Chain A
Amino acid sequence: MNVAAAAPAAVLALVAAAVAPRRLTCLMAAAAAAVAALRPASDVFPGALQVWSLMAALALGLAASALEQAVDTFGSASRVRVAGTAAVAGAVCVLTLIAADGGRILRWRFGLGAGATRLELPGAALVLGLALLVTLAGTLATAAHLLARAPEGYRAGRIGQSLLVLGAGLGALGVAVVAGQGLARSPDAMAAGARHLAAMILGAGVLALALVRVLAAPASAAVTETGAARSQRMLGVAAAAAMVAVAAAGIEGWRAEGTYATATLARTSSAALLGLVAVQPTRLALARTGLFVLGLLAALAAAR
């Protein structure tokens, strides 16, 4: 078993189930579980369990929960903000689809792995390419509707919302096609492309979560205040956990490589600094929390 990938997935699942049960945390746990299930154990360190990755996963789970709480609090004030969240989620989904497989989707190509083990999936490329175009159109229409400050129910907003729903559906279908064809035709290529698949699960999932919020009723003001305080506290704990992950990465680097100046420590420190930035009581709180989540995701994705 790939312990190095399974342990952070287990921590994320624990956070999602018991510590901070939120939809975004569940989605991240699912993506991490997909990576752990598809990637084989490392040949170099078959049983290596890294403490820093466990702490980073804990921080990621808490930060994702705090982010969702903050988005709920922020967006509950008006439907305009909810639509704005959907537009941002659409942009995230578009960027994820472009980044997966090194941007080949822009040339209507998609495959898993590289070199001799690469598996081309033309059918999945068609579905994912359509998902990309539809989501992009939906994002632009929703953003245009928001920027124009048009009244609710205006055509651009409705079309944008419909396109985003279609994009999320096509994205989910594309992920299913990639997983089905990849597993059936080449498990090696599937293992090599596990991170890309997990990224697409996250991208499509974030869009789906945002669309669910569009359809939900706004919360009351009292709930909003409680949610903001709770989100801030959770963010503080996540930042502290990220800092512990830095300490663990330093100790593990010193033990394994003889120095704390490793690439893992640099990535973890970068994420922990974003955590420190996220807890500062100043403007753009949501964007800073989002960056913290992205930093932790990048640190964990780059792990062996």
Chain B
Amino acid sequence: MSLLAWRGLTATCGLLLAAALHPAWPAALHPPLVTISALALLLVISLLVGARDPGERLVGAGALAVALALGYDGLRGHRGQLTLEVGQGTQSFEEDGPEGRSLGLRPLGFGAFLERVDADGGATLKVEKGPAIAVRPGHAASYGGFRIGASGRAEAGEPAALRLAVAGPQGSTVVEVRGGAPVEADGLQIAVEQYFPDFALDATQQPYSRSSEPRNPAALLRVTRGTQSWRVFVIRAMPGIHRPAGLDRVLTLTDVVVSEAVRLRVSREPAAPVALAGVALMALGLAWGARPA
């Protein structure tokens, strides 16, 4: 008991906890959660056991409240990310664990779609049969027990459209082909069969994408005219590389129209008021201890 009440232990635990909590450390040097929890527990116990006046008792009680609130939010709260393109809907978000690991999808409890992305990075979510939720940078919104805050813009994984030039005897036309919806151009029906944002060939000469960034975009197109059908490979870096027999048109991938998406931070922290009250108690206790004797 006397060891727990020793101020040297309190100071050491506080010092180590302060170092462990600081975000300046690289991820590899971050101590595991169990170490941080043990340090916090030891600090709270030593503050409570070593308290000798009302001020110190207040600090100990506040630290206990903060530790309990953070523990409860760690176990029962949820934090994660949501990346949506305009018009895209969702009923869940990607949950992050306490150490930043992805825990998979967690239901939101309601369905919503991204109605609009504003120029300042804000966004408007429309809840199914519900209100519109406006999220602006610096102003999070509440809905369904969650806090939703703007976390930044993001490029969507899939392109909004591929811009193709179709050159034939009558000249050239430019069309935008969106995934899953064939378009008609110069008497041809063109649909995207497969898209490679960063095209490359593997050891067995099979196509794959090195990344989701559109660095070397390419696509496999299904082109039909009447009963005739062709598969045409287009790559932006090498226009007109593939000319299938019987097709009197040259298809060229000229550009990729990147779809705009917004990243939102979704949080549920039910014990936040308790943590706040705990910090307030600690501040009060420290101020009490600073009174003139």
Interface residues of A (CB under 8 A from B): 44-45, 48, 229, 232-237, 239-241, 243-244, 246-247, 250-251, 254-261, 263, 266-267, 269-271, 273-277, 279-284, 288, 291, 295, 298, 302
Contacts and interface: CB of A to CB of B under 8 A. Distances in A.
A257 B140 contact: yes
Given A288-B15, A295-B18, 18 more contacts: A233-B290, A236-B286, A236-B290, A239-B286, A241-B283, A247-B279, A254-B140, A256-B149, A257-B265, A258-B148, A258-B266, A258-B267, A259-B79, A261-B79, A270-B19, A273-B18, A277-B11, A280-B10
Contact of A254 (B8, B138, B147, B282): B147
Interface in B101-124: none
Contacts of A233: 290-292
Interface string B22-65: 11100000000000000000000000000000000001000000
A281 B286 contact: no
A247 to B, nearest CB: 5
Interface of B: 6-8, 10-11, 14-15, 17-19, 21-24, 59, 79, 137-141, 146-149, 151, 265-267, 269, 272, 275-276, 279-280, 282-284, 286-287, 289-293
B151 to A, nearest CB: 7
Nearest to A284: B11
Contact of A259 (B21, B149, B280): B149
A264 to B, nearest CB: 9
A229 B18 CA distance: 26
8 contacts: A243-B282, A250-B276, A250-B279, A254-B147, A254-B272, A258-B140, A266-B21, A277-B11
B266 A267 contact: no
A281 B79 CA distance: 39
Contacts of A269: 18, 21
Given A237-B287, A247-B279, A256-B149, A48 B15 contact: no
Nearest to A244: B283
Nearest to A229: B293
